[in-house]
Structure 1
Amino acid sequence: MKELVRGETRNLSKKDFEQLSAFRYQMRRFERFSEQAAHGEGVTPLQYLLLLHIRGYPGRDWATIGELAERLQSHHHGVVALVTRCEALDLVRRQVSQTDRRQVEVHLQKAGEQALARLAQLHRAELKSLQGSFRVPQIDF
Structure 2
Amino acid sequence: MKASSRRKVKPTTLTRADYEALASFRYAVRRYLSFAEAGARSVGLTSQQHQALLAIKAQSLSRPVSVGDLAGQLLLKHHSAVELVGRLEKAGFTERAPDAEDRRRVLISLTAKGEGVLEALSANNLRELRLVAPAFSGLLGQLEELDSE
The residue type equivalent to 1:26 in the other structure is A
Partners in 2 of 1:7 and 1:46 — Cα distance?
A: 36
Deviation at 1:7, TM superposition (A): 6.8
Q: How many Å apart are 1:140 and its aligned residue?
A: 2.0
Q: Which amino acid aligns with 1:86?
A: L
TM-score (normalised: structure 1) = 0.88
Which amino acid letter does the alignment assign opposite residue 147 of structure 2?
A: D
Distance apart, 1:101 and its partner CA:
1.7
Equivalence for 2:67: 65
Between the two structures, name the one with larger relative contact order (CA 8 Å, sep ≥ 6): 2
- Identity among equivalent positions (%) equals 31
1:2-32 Cα distance to aligned partner (Å, 9 max, x none): xxx7776431111111111111100100111
Equivalent residue letter for 1:140: D
* Corresponding residue of 1:48: 50
**Map of 1:134 onto structure 2:** 136
Query: How far apart are 1:100 and its partner, in Å?
Result: 1.7
Q: Structure 1 CA distance, aligned partners of 2:57 and 2:70?
A: 11
If the length of structure 2 is used for normalisation, what is the TM-score? 0.83
Q: CA RMSD in A?
A: 1.9
Instruction: Give the conservation status (yes or no) of the 8 Å contact 2:60–2:109.
Output: no
Checking the alignment, whether the CA contact within 8 Å between 1:93 and 1:107 is kept in structure 2 is yes
Structure 2 gap ranges (5+): 1-6
Unaligned 5+ segments in structure 1 are: none
Tell me the number of residue pairs that the alignment of Structure 1 and Structure 2 aligns: 137
Distance 2:31 2:12 in 1: 30
Structure 1 stretch 75-84 or stretch 52-61: which is displaced more?
52-61
| Equivalent of residue 126 in structure 2, options 121, 124, 127 | 124
Higher normalized strand content (fraction of residues): 1
Q: Distance in 2 between matches of 1:77 and 1:50?
A: 14
The 10-residue stretch of structure 1 (71-80 or 6-15) with the greater mean CA deviation from structure 2: 6-15
Q: 1:77: which partner in 2? A: 79
Counting helix residues as a fraction of each chain, which structure ranks higher?
Answer: 2
Which residue number in structure 2 is paired with residue 99 of structure 1? 101
The equivalent of 2:3 in structure 1 is none
